[in-house]
Amino acid sequence: MLRVAGQEAASVSEADNNNQSQTNDPFEPLRTIRDKYLDAMAKTMVEAVNTESYAQATGAMLEGYLTATAPVREAMDKSMTQALQQLSLPSRQEVAALAERFTNVEMRLDDMDAKLDRIEKLLGRDQPAPPPEAGKVREGGAAVKGVHPRSEPAESGSRLGARGRFVRKGSPGKKRS
Protein backbone atom coordinates (compact mmCIF):
# COMPACT_ATOMS: atom_id res chain seq x y z
CA MET A 1 0.00 0.00 0.00
CA LEU A 2 2.97 2.24 0.32
CA ARG A 3 3.17 2.66 -3.37
CA VAL A 4 4.49 6.00 -4.54
CA ALA A 5 1.94 8.10 -6.31
CA GLY A 6 4.26 9.44 -8.91
CA GLN A 7 1.65 11.45 -10.67
CA GLU A 8 1.79 13.94 -7.88
CA ALA A 9 5.44 14.26 -8.74
CA ALA A 10 4.47 15.14 -12.24
CA SER A 11 2.34 17.85 -10.83
CA VAL A 12 5.21 19.08 -8.69
CA SER A 13 7.61 18.93 -11.57
CA GLU A 14 5.46 20.98 -13.79
CA ALA A 15 3.69 23.20 -11.34
CA ASP A 16 5.96 26.07 -12.12
CA ASN A 17 4.92 25.97 -15.73
CA ASN A 18 1.31 26.40 -14.81
CA ASN A 19 1.89 29.88 -13.59
CA GLN A 20 2.64 31.21 -17.00
CA SER A 21 -0.02 33.72 -17.79
CA GLN A 22 -1.78 33.14 -21.03
CA THR A 23 -2.99 36.50 -22.10
CA ASN A 24 -5.59 36.81 -24.86
CA ASP A 25 -6.69 33.25 -24.32
CA PRO A 26 -10.48 33.11 -24.56
CA PHE A 27 -10.51 29.85 -22.62
CA GLU A 28 -8.60 31.24 -19.67
CA PRO A 29 -11.71 32.13 -17.61
CA LEU A 30 -13.11 28.65 -18.20
CA ARG A 31 -9.81 27.14 -17.18
CA THR A 32 -9.79 29.17 -13.98
CA ILE A 33 -13.29 28.00 -13.13
CA ARG A 34 -12.32 24.42 -13.87
CA ASP A 35 -9.22 24.65 -11.65
CA LYS A 36 -11.17 26.13 -8.76
CA TYR A 37 -13.82 23.45 -9.05
CA LEU A 38 -11.27 20.66 -9.17
CA ASP A 39 -9.33 22.11 -6.23
CA ALA A 40 -12.49 22.11 -4.16
CA MET A 41 -13.35 18.62 -5.27
CA ALA A 42 -9.82 17.42 -4.53
CA LYS A 43 -10.02 18.64 -0.94
CA THR A 44 -13.39 17.00 -0.45
CA MET A 45 -12.20 13.71 -1.89
CA VAL A 46 -9.02 13.65 0.18
CA GLU A 47 -11.12 14.11 3.30
CA ALA A 48 -13.56 11.45 2.14
CA VAL A 49 -10.96 8.75 1.57
CA ASN A 50 -9.38 9.49 4.92
CA THR A 51 -12.41 8.38 6.92
CA GLU A 52 -13.32 5.22 8.78
CA SER A 53 -16.36 4.75 6.60
CA TYR A 54 -14.27 4.74 3.44
CA ALA A 55 -11.87 2.22 5.00
CA GLN A 56 -14.82 0.09 6.01
CA ALA A 57 -16.44 0.29 2.58
CA THR A 58 -13.28 -0.61 0.65
CA GLY A 59 -12.51 -3.38 3.12
CA ALA A 60 -16.00 -4.82 2.63
CA MET A 61 -15.69 -4.61 -1.16
CA LEU A 62 -12.35 -6.39 -1.14
CA GLU A 63 -13.63 -9.01 1.26
CA GLY A 64 -16.66 -9.58 -0.95
CA TYR A 65 -14.52 -9.92 -4.03
CA LEU A 66 -12.13 -12.38 -2.41
CA THR A 67 -14.96 -14.46 -0.99
CA ALA A 68 -16.85 -14.52 -4.27
CA THR A 69 -13.85 -15.43 -6.38
CA ALA A 70 -12.32 -17.99 -4.04
CA PRO A 71 -14.31 -20.98 -5.39
CA VAL A 72 -13.49 -19.96 -8.97
CA ARG A 73 -9.79 -19.66 -8.16
CA GLU A 74 -9.76 -23.02 -6.44
CA ALA A 75 -11.58 -24.70 -9.31
CA MET A 76 -9.23 -23.15 -11.84
CA ASP A 77 -6.16 -24.20 -9.86
CA LYS A 78 -7.45 -27.73 -9.60
CA SER A 79 -8.37 -28.07 -13.24
CA MET A 80 -5.12 -26.49 -14.35
CA THR A 81 -3.10 -28.87 -12.21
CA GLN A 82 -4.99 -31.83 -13.65
CA ALA A 83 -4.58 -30.58 -17.22
CA LEU A 84 -0.85 -30.06 -16.74
CA GLN A 85 -0.49 -33.52 -15.23
CA GLN A 86 -2.23 -35.09 -18.18
CA LEU A 87 0.05 -33.22 -20.54
CA SER A 88 3.11 -34.27 -18.52
CA LEU A 89 3.93 -30.66 -17.81
CA PRO A 90 5.10 -29.30 -14.45
CA SER A 91 2.63 -27.47 -12.27
CA ARG A 92 3.13 -23.93 -11.03
CA GLN A 93 4.18 -25.27 -7.63
CA GLU A 94 6.79 -27.46 -9.24
CA VAL A 95 8.20 -24.62 -11.33
CA ALA A 96 8.25 -22.39 -8.26
CA ALA A 97 10.09 -25.07 -6.29
CA LEU A 98 12.62 -25.29 -9.09
CA ALA A 99 13.08 -21.52 -9.07
CA GLU A 100 13.70 -21.63 -5.34
CA ARG A 101 16.33 -24.29 -5.87
CA PHE A 102 17.99 -22.15 -8.51
CA THR A 103 18.10 -19.26 -6.08
CA ASN A 104 19.68 -21.49 -3.46
CA VAL A 105 22.31 -22.55 -5.96
CA GLU A 106 22.93 -18.92 -6.81
CA MET A 107 23.44 -18.22 -3.14
CA ARG A 108 25.93 -21.03 -2.85
CA LEU A 109 27.81 -19.61 -5.82
CA ASP A 110 27.73 -16.20 -4.21
CA ASP A 111 29.14 -17.71 -1.00
CA MET A 112 31.93 -19.27 -3.01
CA ASP A 113 32.57 -15.97 -4.72
CA ALA A 114 32.86 -14.30 -1.33
CA LYS A 115 35.34 -16.93 -0.17
CA LEU A 116 37.41 -16.47 -3.31
CA ASP A 117 37.43 -12.74 -2.70
CA ARG A 118 38.73 -13.30 0.82
CA ILE A 119 41.42 -15.69 -0.41
CA GLU A 120 42.48 -13.27 -3.07
CA LYS A 121 42.64 -10.49 -0.54
CA LEU A 122 44.76 -12.60 1.78
CA LEU A 123 47.10 -13.26 -1.10
CA GLY A 124 47.45 -9.51 -1.50
CA ARG A 125 46.24 -9.44 -5.04
CA ASP A 126 43.14 -7.44 -4.45
CA GLN A 127 42.79 -4.40 -6.58
CA PRO A 128 39.84 -2.21 -7.35
CA ALA A 129 38.01 -2.89 -10.56
CA PRO A 130 38.98 -0.91 -13.62
CA PRO A 131 36.35 1.67 -14.45
CA PRO A 132 33.89 0.63 -17.11
CA GLU A 133 34.72 2.30 -20.37
CA ALA A 134 32.51 4.89 -21.92
CA GLY A 135 30.31 3.87 -24.78
CA LYS A 136 29.25 0.55 -23.40
CA VAL A 137 25.85 -0.73 -24.20
CA ARG A 138 23.18 1.05 -22.28
CA GLU A 139 20.52 -0.62 -20.24
CA GLY A 140 17.29 -0.46 -22.10
CA GLY A 141 19.00 -0.15 -25.44
CA ALA A 142 18.26 -2.47 -28.29
CA ALA A 143 21.55 -4.27 -27.92
CA VAL A 144 20.73 -5.58 -24.47
CA LYS A 145 17.46 -7.13 -25.43
CA GLY A 146 17.70 -10.80 -24.80
CA VAL A 147 20.42 -10.44 -22.19
CA HIS A 148 19.38 -12.42 -19.18
CA PRO A 149 21.65 -11.69 -16.26
CA ARG A 150 20.19 -14.56 -14.31
CA SER A 151 21.29 -16.96 -16.95
CA GLU A 152 24.86 -16.51 -15.83
CA PRO A 153 24.79 -14.88 -12.45
CA ALA A 154 27.99 -16.44 -11.27
CA GLU A 155 29.83 -15.10 -14.28
CA SER A 156 28.35 -11.69 -14.56
CA GLY A 157 28.49 -11.26 -10.84
CA SER A 158 31.65 -13.14 -10.19
CA ARG A 159 34.70 -11.61 -8.73
CA LEU A 160 36.64 -12.69 -11.76
CA GLY A 161 34.20 -11.50 -14.36
CA ALA A 162 33.42 -8.28 -12.62
CA ARG A 163 37.02 -7.31 -12.21
CA GLY A 164 37.93 -8.24 -15.69
CA ARG A 165 41.31 -9.57 -14.69
CA PHE A 166 40.80 -13.29 -14.98
CA VAL A 167 38.17 -14.84 -17.09
CA ARG A 168 37.33 -18.43 -16.46
CA LYS A 169 38.08 -20.88 -19.19
CA GLY A 170 35.28 -21.07 -21.65
CA SER A 171 33.57 -18.07 -20.16
CA PRO A 172 32.21 -15.34 -22.41
CA GLY A 173 33.38 -12.77 -19.89
CA LYS A 174 31.20 -10.36 -18.04
CA LYS A 175 27.80 -9.40 -19.21
CA ARG A 176 27.11 -5.87 -20.20
CA SER A 177 23.77 -4.34 -19.83
Q: Which amino acid is at 1?
A: M
- If one asks whether residue 38 binds other proteins (CB under 8 A), the answer comes out as yes
Contact region for other proteins (CB under 8 A) — 76-84, 89-97, 165-173? Answer: 89-97
Select from 76, 80, 89, 95 the one that contacts other proteins (CB under 8 A). Answer: 95
The H-assigned helical ranges of the chain are 6-18, 28-49, 52-86, 92-122, 153-156, 159-163
Interaction pattern, residues 121-150, with other proteins; x per rule: CB under 8 A: -----xxxx-xxxxxxxxxx--------xx
Nearer to other proteins, 70 or 83 (CB): 70
- If one asks whether residue 23 binds other proteins (CB under 8 A), the answer comes out as no
Distances (CA, A) of 66 to 69, 77, 85: 5, 15, 27
Smallest distance, other proteins to C-beta of residue 176, A: 6
Contact partners, residue 116, CB within 8 Å, separation at least 6? 159, 160
Smallest distance, other proteins to C-beta of residue 106, A: 5
Nearer to other proteins, 31 or 83 (CB): 31
CA dist., res. 41 & res. 160, Å (int): 59
Nearer to other proteins, 65 or 82 (CB): 65
Contact partners, residue 35, CB within 8 Å, separation at least 6? none
Q: How many residues bind other proteins (CB under 8 A)?
A: 81
Whether residue 175 contacts residue 152, with contact meaning beta carbons closer than 8 Å, is answered with yes
Distances (CA, A) of 23 to 14, 15, 30, 35: 20, 18, 13, 17
Q: Which amino acid is at 124?
A: G
For residues 43-62, which are near other proteins according to CB under 8 A? 45-46, 49-52, 54-56, 58-60, 62
Smallest distance, other proteins to C-beta of residue 81, A: 14
Nearer to other proteins, 22 or 88 (CB): 22
Select from 75, 80, 96, 143 the one that contacts other proteins (CB under 8 A). Answer: 96
- If one asks whether residue 75 binds other proteins (CB under 8 A), the answer comes out as no
